[in-house]
């Protein structure tokens, strides 16, 4: 996939380097997004048999379970905020264009997500939920940091209470409900996960480039993680009990439970990780993690590529893409993760924007420009 520039243009390599490392990109956000993508690879491809426990290093790999996707959702909000003006929201024609672009991006992400589901790869594809979260963000992009962060706090406390009832609806036990669940990405229920996107949008409006904001994010995220996970540990509710009653389903930090303590603890964890990446990117570490930043600069390409390779290899080796245990037994994580890092780094430095990112961005810009032109006329 070629971009709008020609490889023969003067300064080609310099322009690719500037795009990845220039002032228009926030290196810490790319770093965090790269970690989230590789974390989701690990959650998909590794056997994670024991829950994450701080005191047992043998379980630390389980930190990716649930938390990687919540970090990904939080970064979606940050990306939306940065793309729609950063600290100062866009207004006028620019605002209308930004809204239309978000809507088109949401539609394209949903379509890509459904196509990935149809490959038969046995993962809960996050893109349909991602698309709905983009749509929910459309009316919020005019708000400033304070109302957004207040709204995120309220959603994080209120929506898990509602979510337990929503998850218990008889609909989900039917064939139609199963299809609807896949179409909505209900494993990542937008009804509650919108809190993560709103929080990320609020952080972008607070200006995450500033050191003071980054330090406050680290402190607030760590505090929320301690409260959420600490309350779960203190209550003594086992992971296996998470769905045994309404209270157990609500008062849990288990991965993918969407319980109150998971939303608070893992939401705080995501904010702390983002803050840590932003702070680390102020140091020489920004160059050490450049390959991860390259992955984070093209997360859609990396995510989709992983699932397409999975479908192809599992079909060729195992005879079907849906054999999760068989595919994990092939130990595919390191080959796929390292290949993704190398290919994304090479693409970023030699070509530029990721191919799927280019297609989605170009399509959304053209559609928004056409719609705005019609409105102006």
> Where does the pLDDT of residue 12 fall: very low under 50, low under 70, confident under 90, or very high at 90 and above?
confident
Q: What is the pLDDT of residue 11?
A: 73
User: Which residue in the block uniquely carries the two structure tokens 């969407």?
Assistant: 258
> What pTM did the predictor assign?
0.93
CA-CA-CA-CA torsion sign (64, 67, 71, 76): positive
In 10 A of CB 373, how many CB atoms?
9
Q: Which residue has the higher pLDDT, 324 or 241?
A: 324
Distance CA 141, CA 81 (A): 7
Distance CA 364, CA 358 (A): 10
In 10 A of CB 369, how many CB atoms?
13
Residue 233 pLDDT > 60: yes
Residue 97 pLDDT > 60: yes
Rg (CA), the chain: 20
Residue 356 pLDDT > 60: yes
CB 344 within 8 A of CB 294: yes
Both structure tokens of 359 = 């297609």
In 10 A of CB 306, how many CB atoms?
24
CB 34 within 8 A of CB 292: yes
Q: What is the pLDDT of residue 299?
A: 97
> Where does the pLDDT of residue 9 fall: very low under 50, low under 70, confident under 90, or very high at 90 and above?
very low
Residue 7 pLDDT > 70: no
59-78: average pLDDT: 93
Q: What is the distance of C-alpha 177 from the center of its chain?
A: 25
Residue 62 pLDDT > 90: no
- Looking at residue 298, the DSSP 8-state letter turns out to be S
What Å distances lie between residue 99 and 52, 164, 182, 311, CA to CA? 39, 31, 26, 34
Burial 242-251 (b: 16+ CB within 10 A, else e): beeeeebbbb
Q: What is the pLDDT of residue 377?
A: 56
What Å distances lie between residue 71 and 61, 197, 213, 233, CA to CA? 16, 10, 18, 22
CB 243 within 8 A of CB 237: no
- Summarize pLDDT for 111-170 with one digit per residue, the tens: 999 999 999 999 999 999 999 999 999 999 999 999 999 999 999 999 999 999 999 999
- The domain segmentation of the chain, as residue ranges, is 12-376
89-118: average pLDDT: 94
> Where does the pLDDT of residue 102 fall: very low under 50, low under 70, confident under 90, or very high at 90 and above?
very high
> Where does the pLDDT of residue 2 fall: very low under 50, low under 70, confident under 90, or very high at 90 and above?
very low
Q: What is the pLDDT of residue 189?
A: 97
First vs last C-alpha separation in the chain:
34
Both structure tokens of 299 = 């997360």
Residue 191 pLDDT > 70: yes
Residue 5 pLDDT > 50: no
Burial of 25 (0-12, 13-18, 19+ CB in 10 A): middle
């Amino acid at each position: 996939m070629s971009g709008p520039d020609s490889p023969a243009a003067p300064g080609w390599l310099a322009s690719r380097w500037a795009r990845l490392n220039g002032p228009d990109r926030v290196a810490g956000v790319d770093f965090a997004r790269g970690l989230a993508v590789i974390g989701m690879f690990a959650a998909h491809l590794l056997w994670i048999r024991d829950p994450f426990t701080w005191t047992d290093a043998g379980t630390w790999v389980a930190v990716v379970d649930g938390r990687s996707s919540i970090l990904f959702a939080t970064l979606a909000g940050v990306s939306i905020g940065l793309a729609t003006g950063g600290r100062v929201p866009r207004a006028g024609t620019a605002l209308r264009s930004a809204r239309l672009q978000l809507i088109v991006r949401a539609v394209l992400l949903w379509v890509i997500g459904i196509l990935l589901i149809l490959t038969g790869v046995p993962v809960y594809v996050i893109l349909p939920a991602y698309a709905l979260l983009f749509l929910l963000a459309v009316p919020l992009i005019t708000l400033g940091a304070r109302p957004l962060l207040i709204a995120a706090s309220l959603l994080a406390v209120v929506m898990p209470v509602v979510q337990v009832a929503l998850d218990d609806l008889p609909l989900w036990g039917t064939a139609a409900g199963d299809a609807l669940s896949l179409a909505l990405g209900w494993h990542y229920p937008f009804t509650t996960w919108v809190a993560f996107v709103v929080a990320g949008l609020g952080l972008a409006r607070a200006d995450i480039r500033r050191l003071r904001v980054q330090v406050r994010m680290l402190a607030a995220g760590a505090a929320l993680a301690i409260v959420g996970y600490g309350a779960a540990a203190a209550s003594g509710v086992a992971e296996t009990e998470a769905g045994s009653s309404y209270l157990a389903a609500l008062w849990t930090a288990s991965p993918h439970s969407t319980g109150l303590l998971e939303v608070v603890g893992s939401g705080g964890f995501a904010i702390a990780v983002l803050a840590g990446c932003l702070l680390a990117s102020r140091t020489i570490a920004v160059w050490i993690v450049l390959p991860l930043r390259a992955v984070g600069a093209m997360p859609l390409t990396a995510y989709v590529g992983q699932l397409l390779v999975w479908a192809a290899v599992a079909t060729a080796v195992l005879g079907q893409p849906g054999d999760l245990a068989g595919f994990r037994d092939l130990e595919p994580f390191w080959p796929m993760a390292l290949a993704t890092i190398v290919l994304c780094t090479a693409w970023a430095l030699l070509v530029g924007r990721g191919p799927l990112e280019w297609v989605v961005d170009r399509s959304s810009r053209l559609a928004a420009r056409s719609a705005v032109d019609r409105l102006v006329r």
